[in-house]
Each structure stands twice: as structure tokens, then as C-alpha cells.
Structure 1
């Protein structure tokens, strides 16, 4: 679990650790818990009997972690600290690498849609973009890909970036996109046409879709 800087307890990590450990006692599996105050991280190792337990245990652990955060008075309204779960380590030699992977991925997960927990194996792209966050080429790529939309949304309505995000999230399925945005089909078509015009590109082109999807994910780390 990764706490945002504004939520990190000032000198009271022991209270957080005790609250989390007490909540974890009901999970039903062996737990090793630590805290990393400088990094704002709470790392855990759990003893599973088999890989099939992973999802069910992850649900219980995420709930226990967040309950502990709430008991320590560190809960922020409207969002939760991201909880990231990696795969079965298989042995002590691999446990360190697994914890480092989880810690990095939890940092990369800041600002994603709120979920009970994230599977690190599904966040590899976000982790890669996070590692590149200080490289000037990443910011330049975002500007090239979606800069005109960002400029449009600063001064004009309706905002078009949310439309593009929903369209790509639904893999270009217009009916589903229109339902999510509560738009009629023609209004959606007009917005998509305007997006294509501003970007000078074809939203049906697979390479364009890939570049726009990456740029939308990368902008969290460059803005």
C-alpha cells in the first residue's frame, strides 16, 4: 500500500502499523508487515497455500489495509491509498524483487481509477511510463499526441479529452461510449469528428489508437 505524501503520518507510523496489523489478524493467513516511513509505503508478505487463494486473500487484505488507515485517521475523502498485489514469490530469494515491484507499481498507480486493489501484472505499461516520467521525451510525446485537445479543453466547451478517454476505454464502440457519457449518438459523432480534426488524425487507425492510449496514460506523470 502506498500513502500519498499528504496522508503520511508525521512520526506516528507505529499507530498505523498497529491498526493495520490488528485488522489483518482477521484475514486468516500468516502475514509479515512492515512500514517504510520515508517512502510512505506499507509492504506485506502473505503466506498462501496455493495461487488459487490469491484473489480472495487480496480482497480481504485490501479491506484490512484501508480499515487500518481509517482507524489511524489517515483516510482521505473520495479516494483510498492504492493497494498493489504481485504474484506468488515462490521463495525468499524472489520475495525482495516482488516487494520492490509492488512498491514501484503502487507509486505508478497514484491517480488511477479507485479500485479495492490492483494486479501488478496488469499495470506494466503504467509502471513503464512512471519510470520515464522525468525523461523529456515522454512529455514531448504527450504534447504531440494530445496537446491540441488539452489546449482546446482549457478554453472551450465541451471538454473533449474525457470523450476520447471513454471512446478508447470502450475500444471504439460508439454505442457504449455514448451510454457512458450520456450523449446521443449524433452528439458523440460530432465530438469524435472534432477530435480527429484537432489532432489531424484518424481515430480508426490502430497505430493512432495505440499512441493516444499511451499518451492519455502518460499525462498523469507529466502534467
Structure 2
């Protein structure tokens, strides 16, 4: 929040005493604005505490509507859509010039264009922004999620909270439902937002479609996960460390396109024969058949797990 005090000479030129009065007034206004910003941030943190308590089960679903109403959120019987935005590196990845009060206000202003009731809080310790939105119907979930994701990132840009060159925040959208579903949905979205770090950038992620990534993230410190990754794609990792072209990106793109070679070659900007040669080399290094469904499942899991394996 910024302000500028302008002193105009109307009937006569300004005197030194006028300048002194203006400087004093500017100082008082600065204190008032600072207090307002602190109060705004405290309010945003209070909403964030409520949403976190709801997510972690410290607030019963039956008690939640009344407490939310005190915070100004009165969705009635509308389906609730849980959303969590998380900065990839947590608080450490934020620009020192930004502020949570500025972010909360900027995002709230951006969300005003979405046209649905919203309860937005901040959690500075986790570098997280939880939200609940009231939908008119569950069928508009995708459309509202698209608009909310744009509003969230626009708010971050306006608040100046993202470091130059830093990764954009991750936005995860949960399942719409009542207050009980909102509790579980906020918790699931918060965990998934952490597990989604390192995935290809998207405006938002569907929490339901990242359950495998969440499971693998929960196993990140287990030695069996690292052993599984090493068994499945270890030879390819060794190849890519010492030889070019790297083959892991080829395998990843091939599996992402469900084995459709034409689409894989197009995305990798390769001719068909070059792609066939690379796939043959991958099969040789791994000692597997890339057309075997069980092999495809194993390799797909290993590629997703390598982001979390130590």
C-alpha cells in the first residue's frame, strides 16, 4: 500500500512552517498505512489459520460454517472448491520486496472478477495460500479453476513476491463438495502441491490426477524407492551421464504419448528413423520390451519416482 502527499500553494507561496507541517503529516500517514497493512496481514493469516485448522481436522464440519461466517464467507448450500497455491521453495523462494498483505489483497482483487464467494488466507511459514470457493454447481469446477489459477498468478506478480527467474507457484485444485469434503480436499491439495514440485508447469493441477505422485513423494525417504528407480532406469541414467544424446527424455516423451511414435517424433523434432534407433537403444540398455504393458507401467512409475528418490 503506497500513498503520496502533495502540498499545493494556493493563495500564497509555501512557508517553511508549511513544509514542516507536511512532513509531519506524511509521517503520521505512513504510520497509519503501516498499521493498516499489518492489520490486513493479520486478517489474512487468521483466515489461513482457519483453513489450516479445517484441513487438519481441528474444526468439525458442523462448526465450520459458523466460523467461516464470522470471517465473511457465507456460501450457503453451494458446493465448496478447495484450492491451494504453494511457492515451490517455500518462504525462502520469495522476493524480499513483497508482502503477504499485498499478496492477499492483490489476489482478492483479481478473484473478484471470478464472480464467486471466496475465502482466502495465507500461511507464510509454509509459503502457502489456501482458498475455499463457493460454486454455483459442481459442473463449473474446471471453468472456475481456470480463472482462479490465472487470478492467483496475476496476484503474485502484482505483489512482487516471486524472485526473478524463480519457478512459478504451484496451484492445486481439489474435489468440490460440502464442508467435510472441503476439509479433506484442502489437506489433500496442500500435500499434493508439495508433491507436484518439479512437474512440467501448468496453470493448475487436479489433485485427483496426482495421487501417484503424492504416494511416491510420501515414500521419498524410503531406500526401496531409490532402489526401484535404480533397477528400472539406472542403465539409462548412467548412459546419459557419459553419452549424448540423452535417452531419458526420449523415453519420457514416448511414454507420455502412450507409445505413439509419430507424436513422440514430432514433439522431439526427430525423424522417424532416428526415433526408432533411440528406442532400440533404450530397449537394449534396459533389457526390456517397450511394447510390454508391465514394462511400460514400471518405467512410467520409475520416471515419476526419480524426482523424489534420494
CA contact (8 A) 2:93 2:166 kept: no
Q: Which runs of 5+ in 1 are unaligned?
A: none
Deviation (angstroms), 1:70: 0.4
Query: What is residue 86 of structure 1 aligned with on the other side?
Result: 174
**Residue aligning to 2:94:** 8
Alignment partners' CA distance in 1, 2:166 and 2:141: 27
Residue 255 of structure 2: aligned partner: 168
| 2:242 is equivalent to residue 155 of structure 1 | yes
Q: Distance in 2 between matches of 1:132 and 1:172?
A: 28
TM-score normalised according to structure 1 size:
0.94
DSSP-derived class of the 1:83 partner:
strand
- Identify which of 108, 113, 118 aligns with 2:195: 108
Deviations along 1:164-217, one digit per CA (max 9) or x if unpaired, are 011111111112111111111111111111111111111111111100000001
> Once the two structures are superposed, what CA deviation does each residue of 1:132-191 show, in whole Å capped at 9, x if it has no partner?
111111111111111111111111001000100111111111121111111111111111
The 2-side partners of 1:194 and 1:66 are apart by 42
Query: Which runs of structure 2 are paired with 1:162-201 in the superposition (5 Å)?
Result: 162-201=249-288
For 1:7 and 1:17, how far apart are their aligned partners in 2?
A: 17
Offset of residue 8 of structure 1: 3.3
Moved more, 132-141 or 75-84: 75-84
Does 2:297 correspond to 1:210? yes
Structure 2: state its 5+ residue gaps: 1-84
Structure 2 CA distance for aligned equivalents of residues 131 and 63 of structure 1: 29
Matching residue of 1:65: 152
Contact 2:121 2:131 survives alignment (8 Å): yes
Q: Which residue of 2 aligns with 1:127?
A: 214
TM-score for both structures, normalised by structure 2: 0.69
Question: Deviations for 1:15-70, whole angstroms, at most 9, x for unmatched residues?
Answer: 22222112112210000001111111100000011011111111111011001110
Correspondence for 2:141 among 54, 69, 81: 54
Q: CA deviation at 1:77?
A: 3.7
- Measure, in 2, the Cα distance between the counterparts of 1:4 and 1:160: 27
1:68 aligned counterpart, secondary structure: helix
CA contact (8 A) 2:88 2:167 kept: no
User: Would the aligned equivalents of 2:99 and 2:161 in 1 still touch at CA under 8 Å?
Assistant: no
Kindly state the Cα deviation for residue 222 of structure 1 after the two structures are TM-superposed: 1.8
Matched, 1:40 2:127: yes
CA contact (8 A) 2:171 2:193 kept: yes
